[in-house]
Amino acid sequence: MNKADGTLFHCCLKQEKIKPQLLSHIGDNPFSDVLIPQKIGIRSTFFNQAHLNRYEKKISEHRELSSKFRSLLAGSSRLTRLQAPDLPLDKITIWNTSANVVAPVLFGYVHWCLIEAQRRGIEKLYFVARDGQILHKISQIICESWRYDIDCRYLYGSRQAWHFPAISKIGETELDWILDNTEFLSVYSACERVNILPAQIEDCLQSFGFEQQHWHKNLPSERRNDLRKLFSEKTISDLIIDTATRYRKETIGYFRQEGLAEHPRFAIVDIGWHGRLQCSLRKLLDSENLTPKDGLIGFYFSLSKRVKVSSNEKLLAYFSDPDTPSSRDSLCQFRALFELFVNADHGGTMSFEKRDDRYAPVLRCKKNVKALNWGLTIQQKAICEFSRYLTKHLDYKDARLQDYLIASEVLLREFIEKPSLKEAEIYGAFKFSEDQAENTWYELAPQYKLIDCLRLLIWDKHPHHNVWIAAAKLRSNAVVRWLLTSNILVFVHRLKRLGSRFLKTISLF
């Protein structure tokens, strides 16, 4: 008796004493679950969503992962995916991608943070905003389920909120941050980073040829160098330092309020990428003799380099470390994509202020409207659901650190290098700003036009330097897609290199 020859359906009808049209059947086989019951008169529905998708298959079939781990990881992703609420197709894509890619990757990272904290006797972990919002939520789920006795807290911070009040002099390090070579940099945006108005230094600006009508315009490289010289002038540097001193008081007050002065061992958690925030935190704590005697520790998803204030600083990297190169490093060049994975529902932190005997962050905006409209709430909910399922079914002892790293690389490589069209459209259309003042916005994977291809061929210039190129190709029209995927770009690049070498050789004679 089976479904394929219809005998099972006839038996069911006979046993239940009902007519065929009163029976409904759902299954994943087009023949035995759909065609055969329909011939009998039974209403049938084809449903194959319970099949493993491409991400789940890659994990479940990966032989380098332990059998139990790969089974439960793929199963938790599938269960989360199938528990999706009733959502439109674009939001379903966010839910599914979060369940299959984002959640496993971030879960492994947070679990590593907790393991390292426990091993090092660290009592508190501070998850730094805004990247830390979802990481903090994951940590709470893991600590509750797996009984980690670590105080996990969310700490407001940002480049502007920490770098600026940490300024006590204007040297090369400070200028590198103030005039960070982002895609867009204007007089106004540079001044905003140090909380001064261009009008306050109008005479100095004009003496360097920066006229008022151009203050909001993007500066070419030579004018950026001029602005660097201007900010090195004593009049300007003194103004910046005086302003930073006023902001420092509120920042230190917030740190004291949040327990950073209590001197238990603590560490900060941040996604990456250089450790500069940790340096600024160290400078701020040093200014009030609040730095732990063993120095500061930071846990990072990825580091491209280490910036330290002192030798006892510890910057520990999980997925990609500049001191131990690996195949994972290439995936971390897509920083804006990772920052979308850890986006928060509130605006960036600009500074701190005292309100009714409490210190509070001054946010650029209360709600992160762009991210919320895109589907951030859905992303975070799916990540939390996955974390609950995995901690419920997997014992923390049943997975090695290497298992999480292998699984994360497999999933990220599949998503970043081979996105589906829907993934490319939904994630590639998200607009981000690399400028801390959020003056300009770019799509993660912009649709390329012919003019963009020409710029790429002639000047090796993409629309911005954070382009997710695999998704951009899928979003572009057929002609552009062919140009981007053909060997033409490689050929032209090699031709230009040969030409450059030839010109250098000629110049020697």
- Banded pLDDT at 40 (limits 50, 70, 90): confident
Residues 288-337 pLDDT 10s:
999 988 889 999 999 999 987 778 889 999 999 999 999 999 999 999 99
**Letter string b/e over residues 24-60, b meaning 16 or more CB atoms within 10 A of that residue's CB:** ebebeeeebbbebbeeeebebeeeeeeebbebbebbb
Percent of the chain topping pLDDT 70: 95
- Residue 492 pLDDT class (50, 70, 90 cuts): low
CA 103 – CA 106 distance, rounded (Å): 5
Site of tokens 């007519």 = 19
Find the length of the chain: 509
**Which 3 state secondary structure label does DSSP give 74?**
helix
Query: CA-CA distance, 411 to 331, in Å (whole number)?
Result: 11
Verdict on whether the full-model pTM lies above 0.85: yes
76-124 pLDDT, tens digit per residue, is 999 999 999 999 999 999 999 999 999 999 999 999 999 999 999 999 9
Peptide bond into 177 cis (omega under 30): no
Q: Is the predicted pLDDT of residue 434 greater than 90, yes or no?
A: no
Listed in sequence order, the DSSP H helices in 316-466 are 335-341, 369-374, 376-393, 401-417, 421-428, 450-459
Three-state secondary structure of 453-475: HHHHHHHCCCCCCCCCHHHHHHH
Average pLDDT, the chain: 92
Q: How far is Cα 400 from Cα 451, in angstroms, rounded to an integer?
A: 49
CA distance 169 to 417: 43
Residue with tokens 């900060």: 268
Integer-rounded Cα Rg, in Å, for the chain is: 27
Q: Residue 312's Cα: distance from chain center in Å?
A: 28
Specify the pairing of strand 442-443 against strand 431-432: antiparallel
The token pair that represents 452 in the structure block: 């963009």
Residue 317 falls in which region: left (phi positive, over 0), alpha (psi -120 to 50) or beta: beta
- Across 132-141, 355-364, 457-466, least confident range: 457-466
What is the pLDDT at residue 303? 97
The whole-number average pLDDT for the span 252-278 is 94
Instruction: Reply yes or no on whether the pLDDT at 426 is more than 80.
Output: yes
Distance CA 379, CA 413 (A): 19
| DSSP type of residue 218 | P
Closest listed residue to residue 258, CA positions, set 117, 356, 352? 352
Considering only CA atoms, which of 486, 421, 423, 480 is closest in space to residue 448?
480
Contact 434, 336 (CB under 8 A): yes
